[in-house]
Structure 1
Amino acid sequence: MNAISKLQYGNRFGDDVTKIARMSLSVAASSSDAQIAQAKYSNWFRGEDSKPEPMATSSRKFRRITAEMAIAEVAAATKENLSILGNDASDLFTSKLPAGHKMRKAIRSSILQGIPYLGTCKFGEIITDRGQDRYGVTQIFIANFDGNLDTTEGANFYDPSSREFDQMFYGVHIIVDRFGNPLGFNRDRGKNGIAFKTKDITKAFYSIASTSTGLSVEALQERAFPIKKAVR
């Protein structure tokens, strides 16, 4: 692939990718190994410049994404990688949750419309309410971007802050029928249906632990830091 085609590929994904591609090509021009540019360009897609957990663990297992891939291939690889990320996130959180928690693993990844290298993965579900023909469920997600969420009727649910890689955790309250089919957001719970949204893995853990055990965040923190609380 020549320099022109690389930049055209970048243009399809916005100015940030174009900038990375140009920087990589500049490095290649002064190097005897043109693969340096390819590595830098690919690393941007793979999120290797910043590795919080569970990204640090998952990235070693990701399917490689390269500039030669068509958009459909990028989307397919991203969806596969997000499933890996979600699976590792589920294992990480489950290993730390208190005994008797009610979160079950549920892996489902999806891609943001128009941005095939960004997406989310549901990695857990907690049943919060049981009715005769419907249930209240809190779904837990990890995303490889940062942004806002909007549950307003007719609005775009995802509003990314940028096209760059990042990481955030969030939970949504939904209502499902007795077969598990979603009926919509439960806007009476949380903040208009949003249980929590954070980039802080510790805050995410306490939010998930609270929902999955029925204990308040404060009660969970008391259990985690009893000595510090006593000293105060």
Structure 2
Amino acid sequence: MEVDLNADIGESFGPYEIGDDQRLMDIVSSVNVACGFHGGDYRVMHQVVKQAVEKKVKIGAHPGYPDLIGFGRRHLEMASEEIYQLIVYQIGALQAVCRAHQTTLHHVKPHGALYNLAAKDQVVARAVAQAVFDVDRDLLLFGLANSALLEAGEAVGLKVISEVFADRTYTEEGLLTPRSQSRSVLTEMDDIKEQVQQIVFHHGVTTPGGERIHLKGETICFHGDGDQAYQHARFIRDYLQDEGVVIKACDYHD
């Protein structure tokens, strides 16, 4: 069995340091790099891509709403055409940085509120998927497992990757529990291990309300801005490897 571990990184900007990017890149097999709108900046993008190349992890674009103050976690009213343009712009920026470091972009994963909206809104999902396809049809599209975004990606001809979360709980509809609700984020190591175990080996998860839902993922996300992101990722990597799971980035031909 193979599983990709990914982390959202590169979210520092200016004088503000967010996350433990370097250590996380020693643990995960792919990274999602902020493109300057919800976090990150031109300097950080170069630093992170250079380090990712050195550490041999796959690089993905992590485009979000233009919401630096809200860290991209607030919904912004935008037409689907504008969302399309927003995604193209951010992918292009990181793609250029990758080219400058003699490497290529591997995947795209929307961030925050945009990710959550694309998971359930078919119009937004189509705009995101079309943007990725129009920039480079060989890019993988990461999206929430069982979501509208994955359906839209497949419809336009992209290879899609089902993403699950080690530290986020799920609603009965299979969406991420809103951060405004209690028990939306798991912080205890035993709870995180239990969730990963259930998803990886039993293809399901129990919601905070006690309902069992089907959930199968090819990549497991760790939020780089979390206080214990490195510790959680290292623990889960060691646990999975002890269980015989190979940690490997997703490939276009898988």
TM-score normalised by the chain length of structure 1: 0.28
Please tell me whether Structure 1 or Structure 2 has the larger radius of gyration of its CA atoms. Answer: 1
Q: Which has the higher contact order (CA 8 A, sep 6+)?
A: 2
The structure richer in strand per residue is 1
